[in-house]
Amino acid sequence: MPDSALTRRCLITGATSGLGRAMAVQLARRGNRIAITGRREQLLRELEAELSDIGAHAPSRGSAGEGRIGDEPMIIALPGCVDDLQCVAAHYARIREQWGGLDLAILNAGVGGSGDARAFDASAYAATFAVNFHGVCHWLEQIIPDMVAQGGGVIAGVSSPGGWRGFPGAGPYCASKAALSTMLESTRIELRGCGVHVVDVCPGYVKSEMTAGNDPRRMPFLLETEVGAARILRGIEARKRIVHFPRRLTWPLRHVIARLPGWLFDPLAAHYGKP
């Protein structure tokens, strides 16, 4: 993957496990500078050490903008929560101080959110939105002005096909990802002409901590974490507007299930997706 496409100063939120961790490793192998975030500091420090080691031996390190950024660190580990605006502002201040800004931001941190409307729990919605939606907004507020000022950058928000319809049993998750995808679309259009590209990433089922407890029979075409991470990075490289995979799952979801009239969708979803 050429440095021109997946550029040099990268941020990955939610890098302590799953897709975020795997993307960080794959970007480090290409010699990129990477800022990583997550709440579990021990895991973050372990990843920092691993990425530093990988980066030191990456063949493309010499082409990754060494002259431009000088001796600044290849890896910046930023422990903390995306749902805390002050924390995110402090994290970005550190990145700005070290690197002057970002070329690629993968806003990946997320949590699952299940629910059953028969015992409607507003706090479950608030907690899920705090990470999956507001966590992304917090980062966008920091990074967009600098990307616009520098006239370039790529922002990828990791959403989900779960946001394409209100699937039962996962109301908070579906609603938060629907809000995220819609916000990313507005943002992409508003940033047209600024040189900043916005990607909406909607992976199918991928092995991770989030999916570890799910029944595998209810996760068709489940992908290995590294495969999912590579598919996301490839989609970002191709400057797609929406990255969704595997197609054998997401194409029928996007073009058939998401378009079914309510009179047909409701009984089908109630039958197959009981909370």
**Residues of this chain that bind ligand NAP (CB under 6 A):** 13-20, 37-40, 43, 81-83, 108-111, 131, 158, 160, 203, 205-206, 208-211
User: Least distance to ligand NAP from the beta carbon of 152, Å?
Assistant: 25
Contact call for residues 35 and 72 (beta carbons, < 8 A): no
User: Least distance to ligand NAP from the beta carbon of 196, Å?
Assistant: 21
Angle, vertex CA 215, rays to CA 134 and CA 109, nearest 5: 20
Name the H helices within 30-115: 41-57, 66-69, 85-99
* Active-site residue (options: 92, 125, 173, 272): 173
Residue 64 or 156 having the CB closest to ligand NAP = 156
Q: Sheet with 196-203: list strands edge to edge.
A: 75-79, 33-38, 9-12, 104-107, 153-158, 196-203, 242-245
Gyration radius of the chain over CA positions:
19
Q: Could you confirm whether 173 is annotated as catalytic?
A: yes
DSSP annotation string for 206-247 = B-STTTTTS-GGGSTTPBPHHHHHHHHHHHHHTT-SEEEE-H
For 120, the 3-state DSSP assignment is coil
Residue 99 or 205 having the CB closest to ligand NAP = 205
Extended strands (E) in 13-146 = 33-38, 75-79, 104-107
Half-sphere exposure of 147 (CA within 13 A, CB side): 29
Distance of CA 170 to the CA centre of its chain: 19
Query: Which tokens hold the place of 184?
Result: 């990313």
User: Least distance to ligand NAP from the beta carbon of 184, Å?
Assistant: 12
Q: What is the set of active-site residues? A: 173
